[in-house]
Chains A and B, each alone.
Chain A
Amino acid sequence: MTNFIYKPYKDNKKIRVELLKVDNRNATGSEKEIVYGRELNQLDFDELISVDLRKLKYDSIELLITSEVETNLDVEHAILRFNSKWTNYSSERQVSKESVSDEVSIFKTNFSINKIDISGKCELRIDFLDSNNAIKSQTKIFFIQSDTRIPPDLSDGMFKFTPQKYTKDGNPNSELSGDWWKEVENMGGINELFALKFNKPEEPIEIVYNSSFPGNIKKEKGLESEEITVNRLLRFLMGYGPFLIECIRSKNKIVELIDGDYDMDIFSNSERKDELVELGNDINQKLKQLKPFEKQKIMAISQLLFPDMKNENEGSVVHMLKIDDKTEFENIMQKATIAYQKSLVKFSERIDNDVESIRKKIRPTSPEVSNDELLDNSTSAEERE
């Protein structure tokens, strides 16, 4: 079957955002540097994808927004759309055409933002419309990081993070014991980042991280936002393996609950839908016997992996059994990888543009490196062949 890509218009037009005023006076050079993340003369505005207001002292700012679109698209007018999700606040402005050449039409407007209306990561975008008000094109989304938010971390959810000093004066810590520690010692892991400790199945997997490891997870109170990002990245890294383990453990528990009594054919044979629903109901009923954590964990994972099945009569949980199928297993692990980032740890929401901001700090004066150049080897297998 052929795959069709439905793309009615392009949404990658240039949007250029410049800081003009802070509290109704012209912005200073150092204020611009704070907002853009580097000195103005080194900045290529077209490459800028976000501005950071977190360290700027202000009540209101005025921005100059410029965008361009191909003249042959017959764009009549444009609308600037601003959205601050956390404050349920959005605003629009009609953007006037500044100039027209044979190739591009330039649209320009000033736009003010007041601190008391916004929070978190806000979005700016321009829609280009024709004379019938149909969208012909859009700019890229431009992000405005307005303040710092520290969402609850994973330790209160699916995993338990515990710090332990693996070494004392360079030697293995003699105060540590247990199966997990034996494995750390046997595998020569006393200088590594973390290990896993499995408690009872009805309790979260414990991620025991090595606090002797320089720069490992720190207490977040009083940390700068970039350091919090490093903490987050470490937690995300440590949580990925345990999440996949929990997917398998959840499936194993379901098999145990129904004494392995199921036939894989019910998933692919639409005539056996009733049996699938019956099995789903049976599992849901038996889940009630479990302790709250294990029950909630299984339900949460199944909904993360099979969100579309939530509203089906059989529910999501029964579909976990598909992990036992060789082909489905790989497919489900692919789903799990995305679900872990998108829905469980909400990677893009929690990290925002901080990774980019840290990169800029590490390399403040060198020219921008594109994502492709950052890859060790960007040549795909097909291209090599």
Chain B
Amino acid sequence: MNLKIISDDTFRILDKNMKSYTDSYINDIRTTLTKKFNQGEISKKDYEEQYKLETKKIINNRNEINKKIYEDLANRKYDKEDFVNSERELKTMGLHRVIDLTGIETIVKNVQDKKKLEQFSGQKIKGNPDVVLVDMYFGIHLHNLLRLSRSEASRTELWNSLALNPSIVKYLKYRSELWRTEPPKLKKNYFFTYGISDFVVGNHLARPWWATELSRNGKDYTSSIDAFLQTEIFIMRWNNMDLMHNKLWALTIIDFFSKTKFSVAMREVRLHFRRAMNDYAASGKFNIDFSNNINIDHEKFKEWQDDKYDGTKIEGPKDFSVSQSLIKEKSKILKDIAKLTQDTRGNTFIE
């Protein structure tokens, strides 16, 4: 089963349909009700009655719209004309390589299996699995299945075509509803990509793929696992930084966060250490410490692309490798900076 790239005209129709669905969500006025009650404008009884009624209305509305969205994506019939059939056009987009999707069904099944997630992440799961672990499992396996180059992964057409696969629609439903007590208000960019920010922030398919790509150390996905464990704050905010394009620095910051004992809450570090890193990157010293010139073996990468996905052996391309000793050495530099950095309350990151 190979991925077919959807034509621009068909995508426009899908996008318009999706927009008409998301536009028909009713406004959630419950915050206004609470405000009115707190200000004494309505009685407790009225507030509770109206709140209950409003909740029912919202749930019904969202159930109805979400059902339509999922069904529309999963059941829509496509014919040949809905896809790009011209080799020339596919080459123009850089999407002419055959992308085999065999195995996607198993990945979608396994990602919903708590035992598989525990085994893969090494984390104990109580209740629903954390979205971080779901993204980790899905992102790394998707990376291994699709075997995309960065150039291919930079095409919105690729991700928008992938979103139409029935197994992927099932995954998107699962991912969007995870941890939700009420049906979620779905956003267009959960399903489709429109620009760069959707790749690393908004989209449920592209984001975990790019998080994996930006954090892998050649064939080794261990650093990607560590990156996902740094929670969505790291995945969404740090991956947005140009600094993450520097492989040596990216691997070092992941290692530094994973192995260092900070004297302030980890959340504070993830939120505020970026500023210190930006200042450091602007200094002349950064150019020397983290020279961004890792050689990539493109032949090795192509060999990996030609190999088939094997769910029992998850290994990335052997296109480069940064030694653990170098990462350790560079981590010390970041440690020295952290010793001089304070959080918003004036506490030093490392005492």
Contacts and interface: CB of A to CB of B under 8 A. Distances in A.
Contacts of B7: 221
B16 A94 contact: no
A80 to B, nearest CB: 10
B235 to A, nearest CB: 13
A374 to B, nearest CB: 31
A135 B285 CA distance: 11
B34 interface: no
Contacts of A90: 242, 245-246, 292
Contact of A117 (B89, B150, B200): B150
A239 to B, nearest CB: 18
Contacts of B271: none
Interface stretch (B217-225, B293-301, B306-314, B343-351): B293-301
Nearest to B89: A222
A79 interface: yes
Nearest to A81: B292
A358 B305 CA distance: 38
B293 A115 contact: no
A93 interface: yes
Interface stretch (A13-21, A61-69, A144-152, A167-175): A144-152
Interface string B280-298: 0001110110011100101
A129 B287 contact: yes
Contact of B284 (A133, A151, A285): A133
Given A152-B194, A221-B9, A87 B150 contact: yes
B166 interface: no
- The B interface, classified by DSSP as helix, strand, loop or mixed, is helix
Contacts of B27: 288
Interface string A30-65: 000000000000000000000000100001100000
A150 B287 CA distance: 35
Contact of B149 (A85, A92, A117): A117
Interface string B247-270: 000000000000000000000000
Nearest to B301: A116
A292 interface: yes
Contact of B293 (A91, A118, A151, A288): A91
Nearest to B153: A87
A276 to B, nearest CB: 20
A100 interface: no
Given A116-B298, A117-B151, A156-B15, A79 B287 contact: yes
B165 interface: no
Nearest to A152: B194
Most buried by A among B8, B151, B194: B151
Interface residues of B, number: 44
A323 to B, nearest CB: 27
B92 A148 contact: yes
Given A89-B245, A148-B92, A221-B9, A134 B150 contact: no
B181 to A, nearest CB: 24
B149 A88 contact: no
Nearest to A225: B92
B298 A114 contact: yes
A88 B240 CA distance: 9
Interface string B17-46: 000000100010100100000000000000
B244 interface: yes
27 contacts: A84-B150, A88-B200, A88-B245, A89-B245, A90-B242, A90-B246, A92-B287, A114-B296, A115-B94, A116-B149, A117-B149, A117-B150, A117-B151, A117-B296, A118-B150, A133-B284, A147-B92, A147-B93, A148-B92, A151-B195, A152-B194, A220-B8, A221-B7, A222-B89, A285-B32, A288-B27, A293-B23
Interface of A: 54, 59-60, 79, 83-94, 114-120, 129, 132-135, 147-148, 150-152, 156, 220-222, 285, 288, 292-293
Given A59-B298, A85-B196, 14 more contacts: A60-B298, A79-B287, A90-B246, A92-B293, A94-B293, A117-B151, A117-B296, A119-B151, A133-B284, A133-B288, A150-B8, A220-B8, A285-B32, A292-B23
